[in-house]
Structure 1
Amino acid sequence: MFLTVNQLQVRYGQQGQAAVDGVSLGLRPGEIGVLIGPSGCGKTTLLRAVAGLERVSGGSITLGGETVSDASRHVPAEQRRIGMVFQDYALFPHLNVGRNVGFGIAKLPTREREARVAEVLKLVGLEGMQSRFPHELSGGQQQRVALARALAPNPRLLLLDEPFSNLDVDLRERLAHEVRGILKAANATALFVTHDQLEAFAIGDRIGVMHEGHLHQWDDAYALYHRPATRFVAEFIGHGVFAPAQIGMDAGEVTVQTPLGPLRDLEECPLPSAYEAGLCEVLLRADDIVHDDHAPVKAQIVRKAFRGSEFLYTLRLASGETLMTHVPSHHNHALGEWIGIRAEVDHVVTFARGGNASSPPAPAAARH
């Protein structure tokens, strides 16, 4: 691993409240990691600790084989060779693009510095814009200048703190894809903080979900969505609900009884013995629920959100349970209308009833 965070703790105040508590993660050279979670979860504090802007209370941070932080050692931020990109860009308004990008390499000979500035501006798609000033650029262009400035000194690690939060929603996801391409072209190792899942999915090789100072899961996007490590991850990532269920056996086959009827022919499912009497809660995501006019189960539309190509419907069954489903936008049903639905679930994720945020799902038994 190029970056290793091991059982990291960062505490604040006289009471020693842990903003980051026992976090471990790693990044290989050239990998992009993303930290995501609600406000106050500790993701920015963790980023600042890696940068050297916060002292750690326990655990360690190792960068390129060198321990830069532990309880007794703190390498100053300016000695870590880390580049940072902030959400407000922090560009100097009185300096043109070329001088902004070259700020961190001012000690290089003029010709070498100018060549490096031109090189990183080309990398970020702003070739030949050295003479422009920040106020003459769009928000997306300013963000690229900030990225070029951070890349110019060839940092060992790049840290990005919610760099797209000041941009409009449509631009954020597109720029996240573009920034991923830039970082991959530069072979940069990067750690990125965001609260936006689409950004995280667009840019990250590894994504960490944080809650109340703890890292619940450090994995790729597919695993976070389909194999959440805790109840909190299951709830935080994607759209879904927890529905009451009971796991049982029928003719030697594991079935899961849900408010939508039994789920059968499952690739992965816990055995009934995972829970007392098989009683549990099953995670049903919006893409597990299919609108089908001919289905025997009906649900009432209680909320609808237009997403362009689709609606996200919140539904209520006659029994009172709430579900969510994605429906193509030409199926424009009215609030209060009843529609047919059925479940299409490949593998089942279940949790103990009444579990807390850290509760893990029951392990799935592969189908024989």
Structure 2
Amino acid sequence: MFLQLDRVTVSYGTAPGQRPAVDAASLSLSPGQIGVLIGPSGCGKTSLLRAVAGLEPTAAGTITLAGQPLSGGLQGVHVAPEDRGIGMVFQDYALFPHLSVADNVGFGLRHLPRTERQRRVADMLELVGLAHTAKRAPHQLSGGQQQRIALARALARQPRLLLLDEPFSSLDVDLRERLAHDVRAILKQINATALFVTHDQLEAFAIGDLIGVMSNGQLQQWDEAYALYHRPATRFVAGFIGHGVFLPGQVVAGNDGPSVRTPLGDLTDHDECPLPGAFADDRCDVLLRADDIVHDDDAQVKARIERKAFRGSEFLYTLRLATGEQVQVLVPSHHDHAIGEWIGIRPQVDHVVTFPREVHEATEGEHPLTKIA
């Protein structure tokens, strides 16, 4: 592996009972891979990124880059940030307003001969598609263009690893996702290895080969986007990624193997379904994504529409079953049903994901539901 973090811990205090900002996080990246850390505010993702950069000391664990120990180990290694061969791109661009675009890109290249420096700057501006802006001032560029210049400046020094700390957070939603796709293409073109921090799932899915979900300082899962969505390792990941709800279920034995009995019917997944006895009394909660349920007027199970959100090509309906449970379903937008209307639904589940039963107390008159993801 090119980048290896082994049980890295970052702690900002020694007060009794104070939990570390990062608690024994492990991840790895191969050369040319792009990793993304995602999670709610205060989860530790930026602290972990800063530890990789050398801006925060590690309390435990090791960080290795291209076989070279950067932090930790038996000798307590701590390589200075400027000696790690790591480039960084920040959310505020950090461009020098008094320098031209070309001079900003070449700022860290003053050790190179003038001709080579000019060639490197030209190559980087061409790479990010902004060669025509070389003589402009940063304030003459749009926010997206300024972020591209910041990326070009970081790449100009040919870092072994590139770190990006929420670089698109100040941009509007549409531009963020588009720029994420563009940045991924740029990094892939030069086979750069990068670690990216964001709180935006669309950005994470657009740019990352591997994505880590963090909560309370712990790296809950480090995996491909498909696995995070369809095979979440923890209940937190299941609830944090995408839309979904938990339905109560019970594992039952059958001639063709175990299945999970739910208010929507029996669900079977021969590869992943837990064997009877995996949970107390075989009871469990089943994760159902909005795309695990199909609107079908002929289905036996009916549900009442409680909320609807128009999303252009589709509606996201929040439905209440007659038995009291709540589910969500994506429906093509030409199926425009009214709130309060009953519609038919059926499960179409390829991946049965279960967790131990978790029930919250119902208020008076409320049906006891499993918690919404």
Q: Aligned equivalents of 1:182 and 1:295: distance in 2?
A: 48
Q: Is 2:324 the partner of 1:324?
A: no
Deviates more, 1:47-56 or 1:336-345: 336-345
Paired residues of 1:270 and 1:348 also in contact (CA < 8 A): no
Q: Aligned equivalents of 2:235 and 2:117: distance in 1?
A: 51
Amino acid across the alignment from 1:4: Q
Q: 2:358 aligns with which of 354, 361, 366?
A: 354
Residues 264, 112 of structure 1: alpha-carbon distance in 2 compared, 3 angstrom cutoff:
closer
SS in 1 for 2:11: strand
Shift of 1:268: 4.1
Q: Aligned equivalents of 1:94 and 1:112: distance in 2?
A: 23
For residues 1-368 of structure 1, the aligned pairs below 5 Å read: 1-15=1-15, 17-70=19-72, 72-264=76-268, 268-354=272-358
Q: Can you list the C-alpha shifts for 1:274-310, whole angstroms capped at 9, x where unaligned? A: 2233211111111001111121211122222222211
Q: Aligned equivalents of 2:267 and 2:232: distance in 1?
A: 20
Q: Can you list the C-alpha shifts for 1:182-208, whole angstroms capped at 9, x where unaligned? A: 001111110000111111111111111
Partner of 2:368: none
Q: Aligned equivalents of 1:26 and 1:113: distance in 2?
A: 33
Paired residues of 2:37 and 2:195 also in contact (CA < 8 A): yes
Q: Aligned equivalents of 1:182 and 1:252: distance in 2?
A: 49
Q: Can you list the C-alpha shifts for 1:235-269, whole angstroms capped at 9, x where unaligned? A: 11111111101111244543321111222576642
Paired residues of 1:8 and 1:61 also in contact (CA < 8 A): yes
Q: Aligned equivalents of 1:19 and 1:340: distance in 2?
A: 47
Q: Aligned equivalents of 2:183 and 2:167: distance in 1?
A: 10
**Structure 2: gaps (5+ residues):** 361-373
Amino acid across the alignment from 2:221: Q
Amino acid across the alignment from 1:32: I
SS in 2 for 1:18: coil
Amino acid across the alignment from 1:346: D
Pairwise CA RMSD of aligned residues?
A: 1.7
Amino acid across the alignment from 1:17: R
Deviates more, 1:166-175 or 1:31-40: 166-175
Amino acid across the alignment from 1:6: D
Q: Aligned equivalents of 2:321 and 2:309: distance in 1?
A: 18
SS in 1 for 2:20: strand
Q: Aligned equivalents of 1:292 and 1:9: distance in 2?
A: 50
Q: Can you list the C-alpha shifts for 1:8-62, whole angstroms capped at 9, x where unaligned? A: 0111123153000100111111110000111111000000000111011111111
Q: Aligned equivalents of 1:147 and 1:201: distance in 2?
A: 19
Deviates more, 1:104-113 or 1:34-43: 104-113
Q: Aligned equivalents of 1:57 and 1:171: distance in 2?
A: 38
Q: Aligned equivalents of 2:79 and 2:267: distance in 1?
A: 55
Residues 310, 288 of structure 1: alpha-carbon distance in 2 compared, 3 angstrom cutoff:
same
Partner of 2:367: none
Partner of 1:366: none
Amino acid across the alignment from 1:2: F
Matched length: 356
Paired residues of 1:243 and 1:258 also in contact (CA < 8 A): yes
Q: Aligned equivalents of 1:63 and 1:254: distance in 2?
A: 45
Q: Can you list the C-alpha shifts for 1:65-118, whole angstroms capped at 9, x where unaligned? A: 111111722111111111101111111112111011111112212111111000
Identity of aligned residues (%): 69
Q: Aligned equivalents of 2:234 and 2:303: distance in 1?
A: 28
Q: TM-score, normalised by structure 1?
A: 0.93
Q: Aligned equivalents of 1:87 and 1:355: distance in 2?
A: 40
Q: Where in structure 1 do 4 or more consecutive aligned residues deviate above 6 Å?
A: none
Amino acid across the alignment from 1:61: I
Paired residues of 2:252 and 2:259 also in contact (CA < 8 A): yes
Q: Aligned equivalents of 1:299 and 1:350: distance in 2?
A: 22
Paired residues of 1:267 and 1:346 also in contact (CA < 8 A): no
Deviates more, 1:115-124 or 1:295-304: 295-304
Paired residues of 1:301 and 1:313 also in contact (CA < 8 A): yes
SS in 2 for 1:273: coil
Paired residues of 1:266 and 1:347 also in contact (CA < 8 A): no
Residues 153, 314 of structure 1: alpha-carbon distance in 2 compared, 3 angstrom cutoff:
same
Q: Aligned equivalents of 2:120 and 2:97: distance in 1?
A: 21
